[in-house]
Each structure stands twice: as C-alpha cells, then as structure tokens.
C-alpha cells in the first residue's frame, strides 16, 4: 500500500499521537537491528490506541504491537503494516489498599524498571526479582517475565485488553493461562493496563532486595550491551546459557553479532549487526548444543518482519 493511502487512512481515525512512515526499527529495539516499519504509530492514550487499531484492522493493514523493543528481533526487510508503540501509556496509580496489600493499576507501556522503582520508593514488595529485566509491563505480562523465583503472574490481579477491532475486555489473572515465559495472550490482543497486588513492606527492606538482585544480575549478565536479553528459553532442568557455554560457543561471532563472553545466552550487537547474521548465529549455536547434548533449544526472543535482500 502506498504511503499516501496509509496517511489518508490514519488521518480519518480519531487519533492523538505521532505517526511516522518507513521508520527504521533500529531506533526502537534494544538490539538496534531491524529494517523499516511501513507505519510507526505512537498513540498518546488508550482511546487513541483502540481507535487506530480499529481503523487499521478495517483497512486490512497488519498491526504489530511494540513495547520497549526488547526481546524482539526485527528482520532486515522491516515490518509490513503498522507498528503500534505503547511507550506513551505509562501511568501508574493506586486503586485501593487493605491492611496487607496495595492494589496498583499500571499502563502497558510503563517500563518494567520504572514499575520496580515505583514499588521500591513506596515500600511495596512482590516484584523485586524483576529488577534489571528490560522492556515494558505489557511485554512482561505477555512473556510472563521472571527471575529469582519471581514471575509477574504472581502479583497480577487482572489485565485489560483490546482486540484489533478496538473492543476492550478484562481477564482475571487465573484466566490468562500463564506458563514458563509464555501467556495465553495472543498476537491479536493488545494489553492496555493491568491491576497488580503488591504487599505493604518496609521501604528500606524492599530497596535492599532490589539492590541485591541488580548487583547479582550485573555480575552475570551484560546489561549494558546492545542485546535482546536471553535468546533461548531454559530447557527443563538446566539453563540454556550453561549448555551454550559448555558447547564452546562463548565468543562465537557472525558479522557483528557475538555470543557474550559473560553470559552465553546473550547475543551482542557489536556495531552494525544484521538480523540475518543474528539468525544464522542462533542456528549455529543451537546446532552445536543439539549435537553435544541432544537438546533442542527453543527461542525466547520473538523474530518478526520480512527478510531483507541479500
């Protein structure tokens, strides 16, 4: 579809926010990899999000929701259709409290680190183990983010969704069908906001736990590098990083993509990495692990978009 036709379609939607065309996804992913999105829309509020999704759906334009751009690899050809970025939806507020807990509503575009900081500042416990995990609250719920024995499903009360027609609904946490780094939320559902239950605790104790978890992560993970976090899911009973390390893959490189020497389940963009090199390195690493241990590694990162021209 031509750009002028896309502009006409979007201009007919009640929408507040920013819209860009042929926007390079290298600007919007933690890996700094990816070709252009045909449309890149940043709704200013939930109403605009629902409206633009409905307009795009009715026009037959595919929609790809994007939070913080972590845990995703965009192929070199970019993304067909529209990327709808939720980064402006980042409000946090208290719904109520009882003697032991506080009920907080968090919009989906809120950075997970901001939510952890909010809880730390107010002495609310339950998500300390999520410290240092990149991305947004919406993405964390979709992938059931977790670490140190803590998963986001543990504090979730309910989640409000919109389908691609703009229809909104609410799911209780027990109906989301969470699993290990997965949820029952589909690609045709956008998370708008969530209600969380956090325990009332002493601020200094919450802060100490957050600090300890962050310190541990910084010692073991290259948090300062351009990566998408863990590339592969942990197989049952072991860690993917351990298998990759023992298969002799640390330091392996394809183009500007390198297996981290600190944590083997992190692949680093050392400069101008391409998605095709990233995928080829994934395949080489997975093949080595399979030949040595007979284990098939399953990707944790989401690979999206169209292939580039070699």
**pLDDT tens-digit map of 15-74:** 888 999 999 999 999 999 999 999 999 999 988 888 888 888 888 999 999 988 988 999
Burial class (CB in 10 A: 0-12, 13-18, 19+), 17: middle
Question: 3-85 is classed in which CATH architecture?
Answer: 2-Layer Sandwich (3.30)
Examine the pLDDT at 164 and tell me if it is beyond 90: no
Model pLDDT for residues 76-105, shown as the tens digit of each residue: 999 999 999 999 999 999 999 998 999 999
Examine the pLDDT at 308 and tell me if it is beyond 80: no
Query: What pTM was estimated for this model as a whole?
Result: 0.86
- Spell out the domain ranges in the chain: 3-85, 92-220, 240-304
Task: Work out the average pLDDT over 280-305.
Answer: 97
Most trustworthy range by pLDDT among 42-51, 173-182, 278-287? 278-287
Secondary structure in 3-state letters for 106-152: EECCCEHHHHHHHHHHHCEECCHHHCCCCCEHHHHHHCCCEECCEEH
Task: Work out the average pLDDT over 138-153.
Answer: 92
Mean pLDDT over all residues of the chain? 92
Q: Give pLDDT, residue 7.
A: 67
Q: 6: pLDDT confidence band, cut at 50, 70 and 90?
A: low
Q: Is the pLDDT higher at 284 or at 70?
A: 284
Q: Give pLDDT, residue 4.
A: 57
Q: Give pLDDT, residue 95.
A: 94
Task: Work out the average pLDDT over 166-194.
Answer: 91
DSSP label at residue 153: G
Question: 92-220 is classed in which CATH architecture?
Answer: 2-Layer Sandwich (3.30)
Instruction: Kindly write down the DSSP assignment for every residue of 4-68, as one continuous string.
Output: HHHHHHHHTS---EEEEEEEEGGGSSTT----EEEEEEEESSHHHHHHHHHHHHHTT--EEEESS
**Domain 240-304 classified CATH 3.90.78.10?**
yes
Examine the pLDDT at 228 and tell me if it is beyond 80: yes
């Amino acid at each position: 579809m031509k750009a002028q036709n896309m502009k006409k379609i979007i201009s007919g939607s009640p929408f507040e926010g920013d819209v860009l065309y042929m926007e390079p996804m290298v600007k919007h992913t933690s890996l700094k990899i990816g070709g252009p999105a045909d449309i890149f829309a940043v709704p200013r509020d939930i109403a605009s999000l629902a409206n633009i999704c409905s307009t795009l759906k009715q026009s037959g334009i595919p929609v790809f929701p994007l939070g913080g751009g972590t845990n995703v690899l965009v192929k070199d050809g970019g993304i067909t259709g529209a990327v709808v970025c939720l980064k402006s939806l980042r409000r946090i507020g208290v719904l109520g409290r009882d003697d032991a807990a506080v009920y907080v509503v968090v919009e989906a575009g809120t950075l997970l680190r901001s939510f952890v900081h909010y809880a730390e500042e107010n002495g609310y416990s339950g998500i300390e183990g999520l410290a240092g995990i990149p991305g947004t609250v919406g993405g964390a719920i979709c992938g059931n983010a977790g670490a140190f024995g803590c998963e986001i499903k543990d504090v979730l009360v309910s989640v409000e969704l919109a389908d691609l027609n703009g229809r909104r609904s609410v799911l209780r946490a027990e109906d989301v069908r969470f699993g290990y780094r997965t949820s029952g939320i589909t690609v045709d559902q956008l998370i708008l906001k969530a209600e969380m239950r956090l325990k009332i605790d002493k601020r200094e104790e919450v802060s100490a736990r957050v600090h300890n978890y962050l310190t541990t992560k910084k010692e073991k993970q290259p948090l300062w590098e351009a990566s998408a976090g863990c590339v592969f899911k942990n197989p049952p009973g072991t860690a993917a990083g351990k298998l990759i390390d023992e298969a002799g893959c640390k330091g392996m490189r394809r183009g500007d993509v390198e297996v981290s020497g600190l944590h083997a389940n992190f692949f680093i963009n050392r400069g101008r990495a391409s998605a095709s090199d990233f995928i080829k390195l994934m395949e080489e690493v997975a093949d080595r692990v399979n030949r040595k241990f007979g284990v098939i590694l399953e990707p944790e990162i989401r690979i999206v978009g169209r292939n580039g021209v070699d």
